[in-house]
Copies of this chain bind each other. A is one copy, B any other.
Amino acid sequence: MSGFFIIKPGVFVTVSLIISIDAMGGDYGPDSTVPASLDCLRNNLELQLILVGNEQILAPLLEQALVEFKGRLSIQHASQCVAMDESPAKALKNKKDSSMRVAINLVREGKADACVSAGNTGALMATARFVLKMIPGIDRPAIMSSMPSVFGHTHVLDLGANVDSSAESLFQFAVMGAEVVKALENITEPKVGLLNIGEEETKGNEQVKAAAKLLENSDLNYIGYVEGNSLNAGDEKVDLIVCDGFVGNIALKSIEGAAKMITSVMKESFGQNPLTKLAALISYPVLKAIKNRIDPRLHNGASFLGLKGLVIKSHGGADALAFKTAIQVAEVEVEKNVIQKISEQVELALSRREST
């Protein structure tokens, strides 16, 4: 893989930071991916970006930038686009020259260290899995993201790659997720919780109960069951919450709905009459600070874990600010060599279990 330099067997050092961008993906395509990319290039002088998409569309947009960021920015032509509502199977079969597929190919070929896309989640996962293959020992991939909490934020996986995850899968999610949290948060022993409907031992379904046993017997800093409120506002800080994708996706969207409802009620209440509008005006700096604290755009960038390459999924509706956050997640995961660390930890965890 490009970007890694072997100094002695088994030790890799990152010498480059090349990210491929699915420039056509998402609801806004280049309108959001291009300004976000340029902003990232400005902020990180080590960063190199390959924008993948229709050259006829991208070239005019990047004319100046290609000069400004010479040697760090390039265009890779791809003739097709995957639609946001296209079936994963059809995208995989018919869109072999899509911006998404080509961006992922660059990772497989070692020409990029990670890929970022705001495209169709199902198609991205199916394509990434097909092109990059799974890390040996991992049964199923998972989608991981962070969400704002009273403590700052919490990382959660799986957010919808799988339904009906087995205890073994949940355990593997924890091993993989812990490596990402270590990288993104700069902590050595992230606290890992298992999402359940109560904190007592007897609670939960069979998979969760069995996963708890696996986690208790692992090297992870497992703190036990946590409930839904721990995602945003538990009594105690938990760094990583592990759950099945059906449950995680519904929890995530429930939280999005709650935030949307509260925002909508606030807008309605503050917009009711001249007096309430005045109150809104006076409270503007505070309301803005609140919005910034819980802004989902600042928590954009979900990691697809379990693959032999880094793929970061941005929210489909991401604007430039949100897409920039997703690229930054990719930058950190490349810099911290997350894929390598996940592979090592998975191997360790499996060999540890075999030896007991």
Question: A residues within 8 Å of B by Cβ?
Answer: 87, 148-150, 160, 163-164, 195, 197, 202, 204-206, 227-234, 243, 245-247, 249-262, 264-266, 269-270, 272, 276, 278-280, 282-283, 285-286, 289-290, 293-294
Least Cβ–Cβ distance between A224 and chain B, in angstroms: 16
Q: Which residues of B contact A259 (CB under 8 A)?
A: 258, 262
- Count this chain's copies in the assembly: 2
| Residue in B195, B270, B283 whose CB lies within 8 Å of A250 | B195
Give Cα distance in the complex from A243 to B282, angstroms: 43
Query: Which B residues touch A234, using CB under 8 A?
Result: 257
Partner of A290, one of B249, B253, B265, B282: B265
Question: Is the beta-carbon distance between B286 and A258 smaller than 8 angstroms?
Answer: no
B residues in contact with A197, CB < 8 Å? 160, 163, 245-246, 249-250
Interface centre among A148, A233, A252, A294 (most CB of B within 10 A): A233
Please give the distance in Å from A342's CB to the nearest CB on chain B: 25
- Name, among A195, A202, A257, A265, the residue most crowded by chain B CB atoms within 10 Å (CB to CB): A257
CB distance from A123 to the nearest CB of B (A): 13
Partner of A260 from B229, B256, B269 at Cβ < 8 Å? B229
| B233 pairs with A261, CB closer than 8 A | yes
When chains A and B are docked, how far (Å) is the Cα of A68 from the Cα of B87? 68
Q: Which residues of B contact A205 (CB under 8 A)?
A: 163-164, 246
Pairs of residues from A and B, 7 with the lowest C-beta to C-beta distance, nearest first:
A228-B253, A229-B257, A228-B254, A232-B257, A233-B260, A232-B261, A258-B258
Q: Separation in Å of the A268 CB from the closest CB of chain B?
A: 8
A160 and B227 CA atoms in complex are apart in Å by: 12
Contacts of A233 in B (CB 8 A): 256-258, 260-261, 264
Question: A282 touching B279 by the CB < 8 A rule?
Answer: yes
* A294, B261: Cβ atoms closer than 8 Å: yes
Sampled A-B contacts (25; CB under 8 Å): A150-B260, A163-B197, A164-B205, A164-B206, A195-B250, A205-B246, A228-B254, A232-B260, A246-B247, A247-B250, A250-B250, A250-B251, A251-B254, A254-B254, A255-B258, A262-B262, A262-B294, A265-B293, A269-B289, A269-B290, A269-B293, A276-B285, A278-B282, A279-B286, A280-B283
